[in-house]
Structure 1
Amino acid sequence: MDKNRAKKILVDALIYVFLIVFTLVVIYPILNVISISLRPADKLLSTSLRIVPENASLNSYVQLFTRTPFLRWLLNSTLISAVVMLTGVTLASTAGYALSRFRFLGKKAVMIGILITQMFPATMLLLPLYIMLIKLHLLNSYLGVIIIYTSTALPFCVWQMKGYYDTIPVSLEEAAMIDGCNQFQAFYKVVFPLALPALVITALFSFMSAWAEYVVAAQVLQEPELYTLAIGLKQFESSMATEWGLYAAGSLIVSIPAVLLFLFLSRYLISGLTLGSVKG
């Protein structure tokens, strides 16, 4: 065996070892949460290294759905996240297109303003937004948190949509308009399908910005029937004791919709990257 081949085998082996170790490091916390959710009592720590503990039980999951308003929290989070996602995709796709294709007074100021807003986290803007919601009588309402989530997610979404539209040749729209399309039809039938990868990123970012958010929701939503999953799971923690079994079971279930959405949209992301703009 020559030296080059031996060196390549060694490099490949080191890469695989690194990937395996890294994967185990990432998976271990998830397996630990699964183990906690299956323990018969609310035990956080255990001397056993078994993933499936002795006397494993699904009692925590049963109690989660029967003894707590978890389904209500799930419905609230789903509704809020879905509206934020749809609103984010709609506004970002049109605003990004306008910034990419049209010239108008104040365009540069708008783009600078979008960049500046990215310098401030949502928590820093919470106080002025909270005051605005009070004056608009939207405190303690779905619409209030939807407005905050959408407004904080939009700057990034608009900027990345604008950047993606810039990569699509204007000649494609001009050809469509020569064939009889107006500006909106050229956008909807030609540009919009080609921007599918950016739209997927926008949808994912908008959804995730609302799905598991806690700080804003905890300040705006005060009625128990309006609680989202993040606030609801916090109710399992108290100053005297924490229901770790319910906490772990709820955390696992909360992660499922986000993973399913990513798997579903990733298919469109890949297909969008392979789309051609010229017919054969």
Structure 2
Amino acid sequence: MTRLRARRPRASRVVLSIVGIVVALIWLFPVYWMVNSSLLSNVVLTSTTPTFFPVGASFDNFASVIAGGTFLPALGMSVTIALVVVVVCLLFAFLAAVAISRFRFRGRTSFVLAILFVQMLPAEGLFIAQYKLMASVNLLNTVVGVSILYIGAVVPFTIWMLRGFVAGVPAELEEAAMVDGLSRTQAFLRITFPLLAPGLVASGVYAFLQAWNEFTIALVVLPGQGSQTLPLWLRGFIQSSASKAIDWGQVMAASTLVAIPVIVFFLFVQGRMTSGLVGGAVKG
């Protein structure tokens, strides 16, 4: 009887593991198909027989995309915007999260409600105002202009996200450090700040993804051909291919090039990001 009870949990774990593997393979297949197609010629891709393995693979599609001369400027634009948004968002959101979690001040509740209200505003309803604002201060087609709009869109949720982490660290830890002779600032930087590292990483990942993948705001405030982010560049690349026979190998290679920086970024921060998201879910 005891053996049967022991076997049932093991069997259920095996079944759940198999289901998890199947789901992971289904989720990964589109990514694999994109990379596989980017290594094949357009003749192979347009044949009636699908090619599931990159037999006779080459990097010609990647070379053709990069040789077009528009990918690298778009990559530089996206990287610059994403870095500016991440740094500024984390700075402002961190200070705001500390303020609303550690201090009681007049207007605190109104500030928190304003954060939630901003998240409810539809982005599409602000496009005309955003375009006119950026045009009036000559910030169309600039990193500064689009970064300001991205920061305004990302900061509210980042504040709310970091608030959960700051509130989850007991203030008594800082008070104990202050009893030992540290100032309030020293206690916060030495005791509390290291415990917030997972939250900062998780919030930084969120800000990075929002800035990297955003399309509609960039479409409005970056109308110039020489100041495109990668999503805009990819759309233009597909449109230019559609004017002739679409070279799906080059389209897949372009899509892979857009996805590679995100994958590399995730490989560096995945450990901290996972612990940060779980911690925020528990503490929030």
Correspondence for 2:282: none
Whole-Å separation in 1 of the counterparts to 2:195 and 2:230: 35
Is the Cα contact below 8 Å between 1:95 and 1:158 reproduced in 2?
Answer: yes
Q: Secondary structure at the match of 2:120?
A: coil
Q: How many residues align?
A: 274
Is it true that 1:200 corresponds to 2:201 in the alignment? yes
Whole-Å separation in 1 of the counterparts to 2:255 and 2:43: 15
Whole-Å separation in 2 of the counterparts to 1:240 and 1:115: 44
| Higher helix content, 1 or 2 | 2
Is it true that 1:41 corresponds to 2:45 in the alignment? no
Whole-Å separation in 1 of the counterparts to 2:173 and 2:225: 52
Write out per-residue CA displacement over residues 103-147 of structure 1, whole angstroms, 9 at most, x where no aligned residue.
221110000011112223433433332232223322221111101
Is the Cα contact below 8 Å between 2:93 and 2:162 reproduced in 1?
Answer: yes
Correspondence for 1:276: none
Correspondence for 2:243: 240
Is the Cα contact below 8 Å between 1:36 and 1:43 reproduced in 2?
Answer: no
TM-score (norm 2): 0.86
Write out per-residue CA displacement over residues 6-47 of structure 1, whole angstroms, 9 at most, x where no aligned residue.
534542342133122212211111121122212212776543
Whole-Å separation in 1 of the counterparts to 2:166 and 2:276: 14
Is it true that 1:66 corresponds to 2:62 in the alignment? no
Is the Cα contact below 8 Å between 1:70 and 1:232 reproduced in 2?
Answer: yes
Whole-Å separation in 1 of the counterparts to 2:271 and 2:26: 27
Counterpart residue type for residue 87 of structure 1? V
Q: Secondary structure at the match of 2:29?
A: helix
Task: Map residues 108-147 of structure 1 onto 2, 5 A cutoff.
Answer: 108-147=109-148
Task: Identify unmatched segments of 5+ residues in structure 1.
Answer: 274-280
Shift of 1:221: 0.8
Q: Which moved more, 1:255-264 or 1:85-94?
A: 255-264
Q: Secondary structure at the match of 1:172?
A: helix
Correspondence for 1:56: 57
Is the Cα contact below 8 Å between 1:76 and 1:226 reproduced in 2?
Answer: yes
Counterpart residue type for residue 243 of structure 1? D
Is it true that 1:250 corresponds to 2:240 in the alignment? no
Write out per-residue CA displacement over residues 49-100 of structure 1, whole angstroms, 9 at most, x where no aligned residue.
4333454321111111112321111111111101101111111111100111
Shift of 1:180: 4.4
Correspondence for 2:219: 218
Identity across aligned pairs (percent)?
33
- Alpha-carbon RMSD: 2.5
Correspondence for 1:261: 265
Is the Cα contact below 8 Å between 1:117 and 1:155 reproduced in 2?
Answer: yes
Is the Cα contact below 8 Å between 1:73 and 1:229 reproduced in 2?
Answer: yes
Q: Which moved more, 1:5-14 or 1:258-267?
A: 5-14
Q: Which moved more, 1:29-38 or 1:79-88?
A: 29-38
Shift of 1:256: 1.9
